Amino acid sequence: MGTPEYHKIIDVMAESLSAVRPVEKNYGHDEANKMDMIEVVMKTVGGERIACRVYLSTKELQLVFDKKQISEKQFEKFVARFEYDMEQAFLRNIHFERNDTPNEYRLKILQ
């Protein structure tokens, strides 16, 4: 689930977060990680601003959320809905690898 499908994954992520369309996408390259990156900025129906960095590689896609922008409870709810929405969008089982840091939630989607 790497680079070719990232547009669809970003759309599913925005839908799972109940974001108002369109989402803002800022493309760049993260020199520290040596990966292409997209900063996705979404606004929820309730007016909350949520930003997510999407790191792209050929074998995986990684979503990184700042813990200051989304609570643990909101993130857990998002992950459950996102997994379901991804399975519906891609018509197969999807599994995430979660590797949070003290300041960030990290979800890795393997190809």
Give residue-wise pLDDT tens across range 5-38: 899 999 999 999 999 888 999 999 988 878 899 9
Write the DSSP symbol of residue 19.
Answer: E
Domain count, the chain: 1
Give residue-wise pLDDT tens across range 98-108: 999 999 999 99
Containing structural domain, residue 64 = 3-110
Residues forming a β-bridge with 28: 37
pTM above 0.85, yes or no: yes
Give residue 55's pLDDT.
95
Residue 27 corresponds to which tokens in the numbers above?
């493309």
How would residue 4 be classed by pLDDT, with cut points 50, 70 and 90? low
Cα dihedral 13→85→110→39 (10° resolution): 0
CATH code for position 75: 3.40.109
